[in-house]
Structure 1
Amino acid sequence: MASNKEPFVNLFKSSPLNDFLIPFRKAQNQWVARYIIILFAVIVRTAVGLGSYSGEATPPMFGDFEAQRHWLEITIHLPISNWYYYDLQYWGLDYPPLTAFHSYILGYIGSFIESSWFALDASRGFESADLKTFMRITAIASELVIYIPAIMMYTKWMGRYYNNAPSIDQTIIAAAILFQPSLIIIDHGHFQYNSVMLGFSLMSVVYLLHDYYAMASIFFVLSIGFKQMALYYSPVIFFYLLSVSIWPLSTNFNILRLITIGVATISTFIFLFAPFIYAGGIEQIYQILFRVFPFGRGLFEDKVANFWCATNIIIKYRELFTTDQLKKLSLLLTLIGMAPSCIAVFFKPKKNLLAWCLIATSMSFYLFSFQVHEKSILLPLMPISLLLNEVNADVISMVCWISNIALFSMWPLIKRDGLWLQYAVLAVMSNWLMGNLSWIRKFVSLLATYKLT
C-alpha cells in the first residue's frame, strides 16, 4: 500500500497524552516513550485490580472470576478427555481449546505457588488475597504477551505506510488505544482474558497489512480457538483472504496462495483439536462445539445494549417466537447487516478499509446475533479504537463518543460487581488523556475572566 502523501497532522496536540510524551520527540529511538506508556498501562490495570471482581462473596455460583479459577483447577487435575465433560452444572469449561490450554499453563504455575488455590472440588469459591493477586497478575501478563505488542505493531505500520505519523505520534496513538476503558474494566476489574483473543485477532490484521497471509490465518484461528466470539471478525478476514487470492479472476488468481492459506488454517485447527481427539476420540469435537455454542441460553443475556434487548421493551420476542424462529431471524438480520462490508472488502481489498469493515461486521453481530451479552461490545470496540490512527478530527470524535457510550452500556454489570469507583475513574481518566475535558479548563478561565470584569 502506497504511503499517504499528505503530511501528518497531530490531532492529539492539546491532549495530556501529547503533553506527557512530546518531550521524547527528538529522541532517535522511541523505546523510552513506549516503555513509559506500557508501564503506565500496567499501573492503571493493577490499580483497577485492587477492587472487587465478578461474583466476589456471592455463593453458590460466585461469578466469572470463579469460572476462570475453576478452569485452572479442572485442567491441571483431570485428563484432557474429561475437560469438557466435568461438572457442567457448575462452571463447566465452555470456551474453545486454546483457553483450556491457557488455563492449564496458568494452573500449573499457580499450583507450584500454592496448591490449595486449585485443589479439585475443595477449592470451590476460594477467595484469598494471594489467589486474587495471582489471577490479576495472569490477566496483566497475558495482555502484555499478545495484545499490547499487537497494538504497537499496528500503529507502527499505520505511521509508516498510511498516515505518515512520526515515531512519537505513533506512540501517542498507541497509548490512546491502550487506555480504552471498557477492556480495562472488564479484564482487570470484572475479570476475564478478552485481551488474549483480541490480541490474536489484531495480530492477524497486522500480518494482513504486511501481506503475510498464512501467518494472518494462523493467528486468526488462534483467536477463534481462544474465544469463539472472534467469529465476529471472521467474515471480513475470510473475504479479504479470498479476494487477495482469486480476485480479479483473470489476473490475480493465485492458487498457491489459496492453498497456503487453506493449509495454514486447517493445520492450526488440527493442532488445537488433535490432543482431544487423541485422548477421547472424535466425540470430543462434538462435545466441545456443544459447550462452545450455547444456543439454549436464549436470544440475549441480561441488560445488553443491542437491538433485541432495546426493542424487547415493546416487542416480547421470547413470547411471540420460538427459539428456532429467533435463531433464524437473528441470523437473517446479522447477514443483512454485515453484507455491505463483506462485499466491499471482497471487491476492494484495501488495507485502510480493514478496520472499518471489521467494525461493521462485529457491530452487526453485536446488534443482531443470537445470545449476546454486555461484554460482547469489546469486539466492535477493538477496531473502533484502531480508527484513532485516522488523521481526521471527526473520526476521532466519533471514536470517543462510541467509547463513552459503550462504557455507559456496561454500567449494570459493573455496578453489580461493585466497581463503581474504578468505573468512574477510568471514564474520567480516558477522556482527560484524550483531551476531551479541555472544555472544563476553558469554562473555568471564562468564569474567572467574567468575575474579574
Structure 2
Amino acid sequence: MAAPAGTGSWFPALAAGVSLLKCLFINAYHSTDFEVHRNWLAVTHSLPVSRWYHENTSEWTLDYPPLFAWFEFGLSQVGRHFDSNMLQVQNLNYASRATVLFQRLSVILTDVVFIYAVRECCRCVQEQKGSRDVLSRPSFVLAVLLLWNFGLLIVDHVHFQYNGFLFGFLLLSVAKHLQSRHLQGALLFSVLLNLKHIYLYVAPAYGVYLLRSYCFTDSRAVRWSSFSLRRLLALGSIVTAVCALSFGPFIVMGQLPQVLSRLFPFKRGLCHAYWAPNIWALYNVLDKVLGVLGVRLRLLEEAELPRASMTGGLVQEFQHSVLPSISPSITLICTLLSILPAVASIWWRPRGARGFLRCLLLCALGSFMFGWHVHEKAVLLAILPLSILAVENREDAGIFLLLSTTGHYSLFPLLFTAADLPIKVCLMLMFTVFSFTALRKLHSRGSLLRQVEVIYLLGLVVVAVACEVIFPLSPWRQRLPFLPLLATSVYCSVGVSYSFLRLYITLLRPDDKPKQP
C-alpha cells in the first residue's frame, strides 16, 4: 500500500534555496508591472478609500478586486519606512534603489504563502512503497516542480508580479479539498477571487464540485433525499461573508459600478499586445494569411483591408480582415462551451477531489484558449496544478511535460533584454531537464511522450534559435519587430491546444478513474 506523502528535511532546504535565488534577481530588469504596483501602493496609501477606484493620474489604474487593494495598503505601511517618496501618486515611474529593494522583497516574503501551500500539496500525494532515492519520491519531485517553477521565477521575480502569493491561495485551497476539508477550501478560494478576479476562470469547477460532491452526500446519483441544505447554507455564508467584506464598503459608497468597470475593461481588445498562445493567435494568423492571399489573387483590394494593428504589438481593438471579427460575447460563449463537458462530467460522474482537480485544469485551459484579452502568463494557472497529477499519473506526466515546456517557452518574450537571455535560458533548461528526468524516473516504463510530441518540442529549439539569435541580427528587426512574438505565440498555440485536447481525453474516457484521495 502507498502511504500519504510527508515532507522531510529536504523541504526547508528547497524553500530556502529558491528564496536565495530570488534575491539574486533584485537588481534585474523589471517590467511596467513594477510601476503598476508602485502606483497602487501610492493610491491606497495616500488617498481615501472612496478615491481608490477613481484615481487616474497614472495610466496604470487600480484594476484588481478590493482585497488586493487592501493588500497593497498593508504593504505601503511597511514601504513608507523604505522610501516615502514611492507613496506619492504624482511620482510616476519612480524607482529609487530603496523602492526596488522593498518591492522585490515584498514579493519574496509574501511567497511564504506559496511555500506553505506547496508543503500541504506534497502531503496529499501518494508515495511509492519502499522508495529511498529522493528522486523516486513524488513529494520531493512535486516540491521542486512547484517551488522552482520556471514561469513563476521569471514572471514574479524578474518581470515583477505577485503570482506566487496568489497561487499559494489556489494550491492551498486545492490541498484542502484533497484532504476533504471542503469548507476551508471554499473559504480560501473565495478570498482568492477577491484578491484577483482572473481566478474566475476556475470558479465553475469549484461551484459544480462543491454542489455535487459536498452538498449532495450520495456520490452515486443525484437524489434530493441526499441534499444537505445545511451544507449549502454553510458554503453560501462563506462566499457571502468574504464578498461583503471585500466589496461592502464600495457598495455602501455607491461605487460598485465603478469598481466593476475597472475589473472588466472590455475595450482592451481581443488579444493582449503580446498574444497569448491560444486559439485567437491561430485565428489572427489565419485571418492575416487569408488577407494576403486575397490581395495577391486579386479577390480583395488592399485598400479595403483594415490596418494591420493586430500585428503592431499594441493593446487596442481591431477588426479582422477576412474572418468575422470577435466580440467579448463570442469569447464568452466559446469559453463556456469549452468547459461545459468538464463541469458536466464531475456532476454526472463525480470521482473525488482529483476529478475536481482535472476539471479545474480544463476550466483554466478552456478560459485561456478562448477568453477575451488573455495574458500569456495565465497559462501558469494550468501548469502549476497539473504538477500534482503529473507526479501520480503517467499519462498526466506526459501532458505536463508538453504543456509546461510549451507554456514556459511562450513566456520568453517577457524578458527581452540581452542580459536576460542567459538567465531565462539557464533557468528553463534546468527546470525542463529536471522535469523530464524526475518524472521519467517516477514513471519508469519507457518514454512519457509520443514521437510526434518529441518532434514538436524539438521544433521549439528551432523557434528559439530563430527568434533569440538569428532575428536580432537580421535586417527584418526594424521592419517587422513583432515577428518573433508572432512566431512564438503561434507555434506555442499548437502545443497548448494539443495539451488541452489530451487532458479532455483523460477526463472523458470511461476507463479513466483517478485515484480517490
TM-score (normalised: structure 1): 0.81
From 40, 57, 63, the counterpart of 1:71 = 40
Does structure 1 conserve the Cα–Cα contact (< 8 Å) formed by 2:342 and 2:363? yes
Match of 1:426 in 2: 427
Secondary structure, in 3 states, of the residue corresponding to 1:87?
A: coil
TM-score (normalised: structure 2): 0.72
**Equivalents in 1 of 2:407, 2:210: separation in Å?**
30
Which one-letter code corresponds to 1:188 in the other structure? Answer: H
From 93, 99, 106, the counterpart of 1:138 = 106
**Equivalents in 1 of 2:425, 2:72: separation in Å?**
31
Where do 5+ consecutive residues of structure 2 fail to align? 289-317, 441-517
Match of 1:450 in 2: none
**Equivalents in 2 of 1:179, 1:425: separation in Å?**
13
Note closer, same or farther for the CA distance 1:101–1:323 as it changes in structure 2 (3 Å cut): farther
In proportion to residue count, which structure has more helix? 1
From 158, 169, 175, the counterpart of 1:200 = 169
Superposition deviation, residue 332 in structure 1? 1.8
Report 1:84-233 matches (<5 A): 84-87=53-56, 90-121=59-90, 123-144=91-112, 146-159=113-126, 169=137, 170-233=139-202
**Equivalents in 1 of 2:142, 2:375: separation in Å?**
29
Match of 2:294 in 1: none
1:61-105 residue CA offsets vs partner (Å, 9 max, x unmatched): xx1110011100110110011001001652110111111011101
Query: Is 1:243 equivalent to 2:244 in the alignment?
Result: no
Does structure 1 conserve the Cα–Cα contact (< 8 Å) formed by 2:141 and 2:391? no
**Equivalents in 2 of 1:205, 1:361: separation in Å?**
14
**Equivalents in 2 of 1:265, 1:241: separation in Å?**
12
1:230-261 residue CA offsets vs partner (Å, 9 max, x unmatched): 11111100000110213622452111111100
Match of 2:312 in 1: none
Superposition deviation, residue 208 in structure 1? 1.7
Match of 1:291 in 2: 262
Superposition deviation, residue 49 in structure 1? 3.6
Secondary structure, in 3 states, of the residue corresponding to 1:415?
A: coil
Secondary structure, in 3 states, of the residue corresponding to 2:93?
A: coil
Which one-letter code corresponds to 1:147 in the other structure? Answer: F
Secondary structure, in 3 states, of the residue corresponding to 1:48?
A: coil
Match of 1:271 in 2: 245
Match of 2:473 in 1: none
Match of 1:53 in 2: 30
Note closer, same or farther for the CA distance 1:165–1:136 as it changes in structure 2 (3 Å cut): farther
1:163-200 residue CA offsets vs partner (Å, 9 max, x unmatched): 77979622332122211101111011100011222221
Match of 1:374 in 2: 376
Which one-letter code corresponds to 1:114 in the other structure? Answer: D
**Equivalents in 2 of 1:124, 1:260: separation in Å?**
45
Superposition deviation, residue 435 in structure 1? 5.0
Does structure 1 conserve the Cα–Cα contact (< 8 Å) formed by 2:45 and 2:73? yes
**Equivalents in 1 of 2:121, 2:439: separation in Å?**
28
Superposition deviation, residue 348 in structure 1? 2.9
Note closer, same or farther for the CA distance 1:335–1:187 as it changes in structure 2 (3 Å cut): same
Secondary structure, in 3 states, of the residue corresponding to 2:80?
A: helix
Report 1:313-392 matches (<5 A): 313-315=285-287, 318-319=319-320, 326-349=327-350, 350-392=352-394
Does structure 2 conserve the Cα–Cα contact (< 8 Å) formed by 1:277 and 1:285? yes
**Equivalents in 2 of 1:428, 1:391: separation in Å?**
23
Does structure 1 conserve the Cα–Cα contact (< 8 Å) formed by 2:68 and 2:194? yes
Which one-letter code corresponds to 1:141 in the other structure? Answer: L
**Equivalents in 1 of 2:183, 2:324: separation in Å?**
38
Does structure 2 conserve the Cα–Cα contact (< 8 Å) formed by 1:180 and 1:403? no
Superposition deviation, residue 364 in structure 1? 0.5
Superposition deviation, residue 110 in structure 1? 0.6
Question: What is the percentage of aligned positions where both structures have the same residue?
Answer: 25
Superposition deviation, residue 370 in structure 1? 1.0
Does structure 2 conserve the Cα–Cα contact (< 8 Å) formed by 1:177 and 1:388? no
Where do 5+ consecutive residues of structure 1 fail to align? 9-24, 55-62, 440-453
**Equivalents in 2 of 1:297, 1:41: separation in Å?**
36
Superposition deviation, residue 213 in structure 1? 2.4
Superposition deviation, residue 420 in structure 1? 2.3
**Equivalents in 2 of 1:235, 1:142: separation in Å?**
28
**Equivalents in 1 of 2:264, 2:178: separation in Å?**
31
Note closer, same or farther for the CA distance 1:44–1:286 as it changes in structure 2 (3 Å cut): same
1:338-388 residue CA offsets vs partner (Å, 9 max, x unmatched): 011101122233112122211111100001011112111121222222223
Does structure 2 conserve the Cα–Cα contact (< 8 Å) formed by 1:159 and 1:165? no
Which one-letter code corresponds to 1:152 in the other structure? Answer: R
Note closer, same or farther for the CA distance 1:417–1:329 as it changes in structure 2 (3 Å cut): farther
From 252, 275, 283, the counterpart of 1:311 = 283
Does structure 2 conserve the Cα–Cα contact (< 8 Å) formed by 1:72 and 1:118? yes
**Comparing 215-224 and 379-388, the one that deviates more:** 379-388
**Equivalents in 2 of 1:101, 1:220: separation in Å?**
17
Does structure 2 conserve the Cα–Cα contact (< 8 Å) formed by 1:190 and 1:417? no
Note closer, same or farther for the CA distance 1:287–1:400 as it changes in structure 2 (3 Å cut): same
Query: Is 1:415 equivalent to 2:386 in the alignment?
Result: no
